Structure 1
Amino acid sequence: MATPAGNILRWSFLGFGVLYGFRHQRSLYKEEKEHNAKVEYERKQKLIDLAKAEYQRSLLPPDQRDGGIISNPDDPKFDLEKYLNHVAAGDAKSKA
């Protein structure tokens, strides 16, 4: 049979463990919630930046939207050298 002091000590440790576990779980949930909020904010910021860039691109004249590259060979302003450099740069980006 356990002594009364031993029982008090056991129950005290049990109570302390439960309280510590509750506090620790709350801190973990809080950190997770803050992390999720940060990730969501960064995702929204990325979308806003992308929308701003697309809006700025839409304000450009149609012939400058692709960096001034005309891909239609029947167009009088068609420049084969610019077009080939543009295609080569695109291939280099896709391989990297």
Structure 2
Amino acid sequence: MVNRAFVNVGRWSALAFGLVYGYTHNSSLQKQEDAKKQQLEYERKEQLIEKARLAYAAKQNTTKPVVAESADVDSPDFDFEKFIAQLEAQEKK
């Protein structure tokens, strides 16, 4: 039969191999989980930035009240097209 010492060496070797494999497998799974968490955190931050960008754009695009410019036809700065556009905008309201 096989010497008892060889059996014990085989058992201890299998145990050591199992421990090393378990440790390396666990560390690889942990790295994958950490990478996944970082990716999810990055995507969450991207979504927050996009929401903030949209909110800022909506805030900046609010319609400003049209200030009635003077209708001084004799002024050298008078722009007839702007005057007509302003009148049309007031009619639409």
TM-score (norm 1): 0.62
Q: Which has the larger radius of gyration?
A: 2
- The aligned counterpart of 1:20 is 21
Offset of residue 62 of structure 1: 3.7
1:40 shift after superposition: 0.4
Question: What is the CA distance between 1:12 and its match in structure 2?
Answer: 0.3
Q: Alpha carbon RMSD of aligned pairs, Å?
A: 1.7
Q: Distance in 2 between matches of 1:62 and 1:40?
A: 36
Aligned to 1:86: none
Would you identify which runs of 4 or more consecutive aligned residues in structure 1 move more than 2 Å? none
Q: Distance in 2 between matches of 1:62 and 1:50?
A: 20
Aligned to 1:38: 39
* Aligned residue in 2 for 1:68: none
Describe the superposition over 1:18-75 as per-residue Cα deviations: whole angstroms up to 9, x where unpaired.
Answer: 0000000101111000000000000000000110011011111247xxxxxxxxxxxx
- For this pair of structures, how many residues does the alignment match? 64
Structure 2 residues without counterparts, runs of 5 or longer = 65-91
In the other structure, the counterpart of 1:9 is: 10
